[in-house]
Structure 1
Amino acid sequence: MQVYVAQWGTYITTPEVSASSAKVNIQSTIKNETSLPATVTLINKIINVKGIEVASTSSKQYIAANSEYDFNENVRVKSPALWSTENANLYKAITEVYVDGRLSDNVETKFGIRKISFDAVNGFILNNKPMKLKGGCFHIDNGPLGARSFDRAEIRRVVLMKASGFNAIRCTHNPPAPAFLEACDSLGMLVIDEAFDCWNEGKKADDYHVYFKDWWQKDLQSMLLRDRNHPSIIMWSIGNEIPGMDKPSVADTAKILADYVRSIDHTRPVTAAVVGVSNQKDAFFSALDVCGYNYADNKYISDHWRKPGRIMFATESYPLDAFQSWMGVLDHPWVIGDFVWTGFDYIGESSLGWRGYPQEKTFYPWNLAYCGDIDICGWKRPQSFYRDVLWKKNQLSIFVKQPHPYFPVNPKKEPWSIWNWDDVVDNWTWKGYEDSIFEVNIYSSCEEVELFLNNKSLGRKPTNRSTKFMAVYNVPYTSGELKAVGYDNNGKIVRTSVLNTAGKPTQINLSADRKMIKADNEDLSYVTVDLVDKKGIRNPNAENLVHFQIQGPGTIVGVGNANPVSVESYQLPERKAWQGRCLVIIKSGKHPGKIILKATSVGLNPEQLTIDAHH
């Protein structure tokens, strides 16, 4: 194959989009690496989600020996199925290269037909519909799997984020795995693709600044060419908290990078995450199309008066500032979204979300950041339930403040270091604390909430913007049922949430997110292990060690429990429970068959689960 489509040589855009028709532009770079000239016929076919060809085009071109040619073709797709966060419709372009009538190469490229725009009056618009970005920042690791990228692991993360109300992810601070972007394309998740965490001046002695001068253009080009056909990507970020953003030389570099991005892809705006926002950084901001504000929602109004055309969004925000951050988005059309640090918890920046800064070696054995809305096992943390009430109607959840701090606190913690959340748990099992007063926090987007303890009402309270969608009760502990009931403005019950006192754990419950997986040597099933009492209630205080055995064509590739101070192996076939549960990740082999997972723990009834692996 010496006449072929260059690597990342297909570039598909949709410059004109309406309900009746879409113009699809296809640019194809064809290389002729032979010693002879070639007459090349290029055919592009557009296939819809049903596998039906809906448009095609053909061109012929003479290409000299050892050279390349850029084809540029347009086709029309009638009544296009648009790509959006609700309907992630994907088309496929099949590019065929013929030389003297013989097929020399063919490439398939998935793409979406959609239209985006940004301005300070209307905000972000997708397919003529205004939309606020409900965002979370992402590091690349997959929890107990570490930095390994499996297709299913990437899909699961996106599925969990969408289920928690997110519609956008900022990739921090490097381009993600291709499988992650494919998951976002297929599931309807918007993406900010980010290139760098530093430029010429570094943050650490051996970080990317050592290579920036020689490699920025090649690396940025690779990101843009590799990722530009993904409809999920709506912005390119050229950097995060770049040192010296108030310096003219750094502002000049920002312009060079932004212009380079636009020279390769002009269909998306350029952004960057700016920390320490001030008018001294106006020159830096002027290089950007959309301006990322890290922890600076207090600047939205004053900066809008100074720069009324500036489009802003929170590229990072604190979990504890969730209410004010989101209200700033809702209240100001020039603020298009909020991205919390972080959407998913991650390994590293240990104890960021508890002990904060300044960080010290004495923080060991902390090893998780502990700041994500979703923990490393994929379970929602309390702050995620609070975000539910900011983003969705008729949401309701109960959390109880710990009688003592769950972990030792940092007495030297800086006041601005607030990546933590309130020290609350979904737990009403407090043996030894009978009649002690507990603070109970209700997160609610219902009009009113009523709390019951063992069917006795503790009163109704409003939950709305004026209460920050929270209600607080002081409740004397007695075992039994703590139940919150949410009402609409007509007094109708629209949601209930319950915490039950758990008894001593007696058995293990296993639940798999998928009981059928592909026998392709890489598909995954995530199995949640709950330690429950005789009534089937998870005991949130249980920390029993659980042992695992596996039979059949599968392997255990990871275990975890989301305990940020656990130094247990992620690879051994055992794990202590934390807050009454742990996680096992099973990978298929190359052969079909039944994979049997057995779980045992001293004093508990054993349990097993069967997963079918098939071709």
Structure 2
Amino acid sequence: MVPAIGMSVPAWLSDFTNRMMVESNANLVRWMHVTPWKQDIESCDRVGLMQAMPAGDAERDSKGANWKQRVSLMRDAIIYNRNNPSIIFYECGNEVISEPHMFEMKSIRNTYDPNGGRAIGSREMLDSQEAEYGGEMLYINKSARKPLWATEYSRDEGLRKYWDEFSPPYHKDGEGGTTHANVNGSKVKDASPYNRNQDSHAIENVTRWYDYYIERPGTGHRVSSGGVNIVFSDTNTHFRGAENYRRSGEVDPMRIPKDGFFAHQVMWDGWVDIENHRSHIIGHWNYTKDVVKNIYVVSSGEKVELFINGKSKGFGKQSKQFLFTFESIQWEAGELKAVSYDINGKVVSEAYKLTAGKPFEIKLTPHTNPKGFMANGADVALIDVEVVDKNGNRCPIDNSLIEFSLKGDATWLGGIAKGPEDNYILSEKIPVENGINRIMIRSGIKPDNINLIAKSKGLKSSKITLNTSFFESNNGLSTQLPNHDMTSYLDRGPTPKTDSYTIKRKPAFIASATALSNQEDVYKSFDDNELSEWTNDGRIKTGKITYSLTKPSVVNQCVAKFTGWRRKSYPIRILADNKIVYKGNTQQSLGYITIPLKPVLAKEITIELIGVNTDNDAFNKIVEVDPNKELDMFKDKEGANAKGQLRIVEIEFYESL
């Protein structure tokens, strides 16, 4: 979606957006709920972006005539798009469907695309024997049998306009809405995760992605296959925050990058493992002398050093693998530089921020169809509007109101910006945000010189001329398809023929288990099925389960998904052949946790409850569209009262290589 014109964009603009996803190092786009139009499917072919193609659904399974319609739609979508190589997944629904329905959908795939090599599945489907992939929204799923990947792994939102609370307009993180309405009319009491500043939004993306990264291929027998964010560009889908559109994108509605874009660029620079090192300093470096703040660097290095005007400020505190925090840094005008090192102290990447001078002039930069700006009444030109200093550096805290005038055979479409009452849609006066904005004009039907003038009080004006080209038609109809002669984008390079990861650790396989209660269910705690669990009878003294390994192993990690993963904390101790190798409280999470163990050669590993478990949601601000639909599928009405529960969905043990 693009402001003022919706989704009816010229083909080159589809490439513009989809290429940006690839440039952010994404390798898959999941279209939401309905089959995308052919233009975007062909665009992904050109830019090298894999796709998950849905047919259509209503966020639930269906029956009768409705189900027959869905089957027919999937059949037609497969036939129409089966020759597009970027389609990798066929998606049957945004919720779990029944096994008979999954079998029917798979039969449609086998009939109409038997040799395409595409997997067919649905969201969730964690224990399905028919689906060829699955995965929940938000939560971390793992499997040894099929790809499980998150269909929406990060849901927080934030405007591009808000750098941090030290920058104009001085928006405090999370401020701007105490409630929000979901599509079903229900409310969330605290909407602060949907009103973030850019810095905390980018940090949240790093935090959420780390949970998947540590369970990636190469980390064991059961792995997560990653996930996709929601959404890439801000959109007018149902909003949850203070504004009337969704702002969870890595780019804003006009495709101007936020800090989250560059954070993902760092974390995703490789097909699985990091292959190319990058660093990015979150935010800008235009403050005042009284500002002391934390500086955050997203980096794939092992350690990061910060410099101000060549003077070291020390090394950052690393968290979530990619985030480095430098606390209480005093602002000084000049150059802020982050230097990233590998484990041997070798420099692997650097990032810079410069203090810009006073706003001086407006700079206009056009983006047009590579074949030329076509006079067909439908082509669009994007024009970047920047406020820069005398040296041409963007002024990152300037929010000047720019007034435009347009002459020639073209239509003004404008852009979007946060306003006191509206979004400036179609307005000929629009502010830059953080020193930049982007506007659009649509071509007319005759070749012409299109003149655009931008001016603002106190700034030097700017003018550009765009020339629209003759567009051949026959009685008003085009003689060519919109994507004619569109070039491919090959900079990402080919998908590797060999594994794009290294083996990080070795699984110590479980042969059997014994417990003091519900012995018949012990297998469910290591059966590679996240829809099954083992639990004791709710008494502390029965909260004990012992796993026998297939051979004696020096286990140094326990990876577990405890029931109530986002709410419950279990006080446990872990014993290796009766030697205590861990004692403490389990962390709340959105899936799996890794518990470090003292390495001891052992044949048996025991998990033992040693106290009362607690129940308090650590993620209560981020919920499903329906906040009552908790995907922790073992939620127990009596769980809060049963303080002696030990409940395990999946458990794994690992030893170092």
TM-score, normalised relative to structure 2: 0.57
Instruction: Note if contact 2:61-2:95 (Cα within 8 Å) is conserved in structure 1.
Output: no
- Matched residue, 1:65: none
* Whole-Å separation in 1 of the counterparts to 2:326 and 2:106: 48
The CA deviation at 1:462 is: 8.1
The counterpart of 2:402, out of the listed 542, 546, 565, is 546
> Does 2:291 align with 1:472?
no
- Matched residue, 2:432: 577
> Does 2:115 align with 1:271?
no
* Whole-Å separation in 2 of the counterparts to 1:291 and 1:549: 51
- 1:37-436 equivalence runs, <5 A: 141-143=1-3, 145-198=5-58, 212-213=66-67, 215-242=69-96, 250-266=98-114, 267=116, 268-274=118-124, 282=127, 285-297=128-140, 299-300=141-142, 304=143, 308-318=144-154, 319=205, 320-330=207-217, 331-332=219-220, 335-351=224-240, 355=241, 363=242, 366-392=243-269, 393-399=276-282, 426-431=283-288, 434-436=289-291
- Matched residue, 1:444: 299
User: What is the letter of the counterpart of residue 343 of structure 1?
Assistant: F
User: What is the letter of the counterpart of residue 456 of structure 1?
Assistant: K
* Whole-Å separation in 2 of the counterparts to 1:466 and 1:214: 46
The CA deviation at 1:309 is: 2.2
Which runs of 5 or more residues in structure 1 are unaligned? 1-140, 203-208, 356-362, 400-425
Instruction: Note if contact 1:559-1:573 (Cα within 8 Å) is conserved in structure 2.
Output: no
Which runs of 5 or more residues in structure 2 are unaligned? 155-204, 270-275, 471-657
* Whole-Å separation in 2 of the counterparts to 1:490 and 1:201: 53
Greater RCO structure (CA 8 Å; 6+ sep) = 2
Is the alpha carbon distance of 1:607 and 1:241 closer, same or farther for their aligned partners in structure 2, counting shifts above 3 Å? same
Where 1:483 maps in the other structure, the secondary structure is strand
User: What is the letter of the counterpart of residue 460 of structure 2?
Assistant: N
The CA deviation at 1:467 is: 4.0
* Whole-Å separation in 1 of the counterparts to 2:233 and 2:320: 29
User: What is the letter of the counterpart of residue 437 of structure 1?
Assistant: V
Instruction: Note if contact 2:294-2:325 (Cα within 8 Å) is conserved in structure 1.
Output: no
* Whole-Å separation in 1 of the counterparts to 2:61 and 2:27: 33
* Whole-Å separation in 1 of the counterparts to 2:120 and 2:67: 20
Instruction: Note if contact 1:507-1:533 (Cα within 8 Å) is conserved in structure 2.
Output: yes
Instruction: Note if contact 1:142-1:153 (Cα within 8 Å) is conserved in structure 2.
Output: no
The CA deviation at 1:342 is: 2.2
* Whole-Å separation in 2 of the counterparts to 1:370 and 1:257: 34
Where 1:186 maps in the other structure, the secondary structure is helix
User: What is the letter of the counterpart of residue 386 of structure 1?
Assistant: A
Identity of aligned residues (%): 24
* Whole-Å separation in 2 of the counterparts to 1:181 and 1:475: 46
> Which has the larger displacement, 453-462 or 598-607?
453-462
Is the alpha carbon distance of 1:189 and 1:397 closer, same or farther for their aligned partners in structure 2, counting shifts above 3 Å? same
User: What is the letter of the counterpart of residue 119 of structure 2?
Assistant: P
Superimposed CA distance per residue, residues 6-62 of structure 1 (whole angstroms, 9 cap, x where no aligned partner): xxxxxxxxxxxxxxxxxxxxxxxxxxxxxxxxxxxxxxxxxxxxxxxxxxxxxxxxx
* Whole-Å separation in 2 of the counterparts to 1:314 and 1:339: 6
> Which has the larger displacement, 540-549 or 482-491?
482-491
Please give the root-mean-square deviation of Cα atoms over the aligned residues, in Å. 2.9
User: What is the letter of the counterpart of residue 171 of structure 1?
Assistant: W
The CA deviation at 1:585 is: 1.5
- Matched residue, 1:531: 387
Instruction: Note if contact 1:152-1:523 (Cα within 8 Å) is conserved in structure 2.
Output: no
The CA deviation at 1:211 is: 7.4
Superimposed CA distance per residue, residues 131-168 of structure 1 (whole angstroms, 9 cap, x where no aligned partner): xxxxxxxxxx2355323232122111111111111121
Instruction: Note if contact 2:362-2:461 (Cα within 8 Å) is conserved in structure 1.
Output: yes
Is the alpha carbon distance of 1:326 and 1:474 closer, same or farther for their aligned partners in structure 2, counting shifts above 3 Å? same
Instruction: Note if contact 2:215-2:224 (Cα within 8 Å) is conserved in structure 1.
Output: yes
The CA deviation at 1:210 is: 11
> Does 2:556 align with 1:556?
no
* Whole-Å separation in 1 of the counterparts to 2:90 and 2:211: 26
* Whole-Å separation in 1 of the counterparts to 2:403 and 2:65: 46
Instruction: Note if contact 1:238-1:258 (Cα within 8 Å) is conserved in structure 2.
Output: no
User: What is the letter of the counterpart of residue 521 of structure 1?
Assistant: G
Is the alpha carbon distance of 1:572 and 1:488 closer, same or farther for their aligned partners in structure 2, counting shifts above 3 Å? same
* Whole-Å separation in 2 of the counterparts to 1:186 and 1:508: 34
Where 2:149 maps in the other structure, the secondary structure is strand
Is the alpha carbon distance of 1:491 and 1:524 closer, same or farther for their aligned partners in structure 2, counting shifts above 3 Å? farther
Instruction: Note if contact 1:151-1:523 (Cα within 8 Å) is conserved in structure 2.
Output: no
- Matched residue, 1:26: none
The counterpart of 2:310, out of the listed 445, 451, 455, is 455
* Whole-Å separation in 2 of the counterparts to 1:177 and 1:142: 15
Is the alpha carbon distance of 1:587 and 1:210 closer, same or farther for their aligned partners in structure 2, counting shifts above 3 Å? farther
User: What is the letter of the counterpart of residue 554 of structure 1?
Assistant: A
* Whole-Å separation in 1 of the counterparts to 2:68 and 2:89: 25
Is the alpha carbon distance of 1:336 and 1:573 closer, same or farther for their aligned partners in structure 2, counting shifts above 3 Å? same
* Whole-Å separation in 1 of the counterparts to 2:95 and 2:392: 48
* Whole-Å separation in 1 of the counterparts to 2:325 and 2:355: 21
Is the alpha carbon distance of 1:222 and 1:564 closer, same or farther for their aligned partners in structure 2, counting shifts above 3 Å? farther
Where 2:353 maps in the other structure, the secondary structure is strand
Instruction: Note if contact 1:510-1:609 (Cα within 8 Å) is conserved in structure 2.
Output: yes
The CA deviation at 1:218 is: 3.2
The CA deviation at 1:576 is: 1.7
Superimposed CA distance per residue, residues 394-440 of structure 1 (whole angstroms, 9 cap, x where no aligned partner): 211112xxxxxxxxxxxxxxxxxxxxxxxxxx222233xx3342010
* Whole-Å separation in 1 of the counterparts to 2:303 and 2:59: 51
Is the alpha carbon distance of 1:230 and 1:540 closer, same or farther for their aligned partners in structure 2, counting shifts above 3 Å? same
- Matched residue, 1:610: 465
Where 1:153 maps in the other structure, the secondary structure is helix
The CA deviation at 1:477 is: 2.4
* Whole-Å separation in 1 of the counterparts to 2:440 and 2:38: 21
Where 2:390 maps in the other structure, the secondary structure is coil
* Whole-Å separation in 2 of the counterparts to 1:492 and 1:610: 48
Where 1:223 maps in the other structure, the secondary structure is helix
The CA deviation at 1:335 is: 3.7
Number of residue equivalences? 407
* Whole-Å separation in 1 of the counterparts to 2:228 and 2:419: 23
Higher strand share: 1
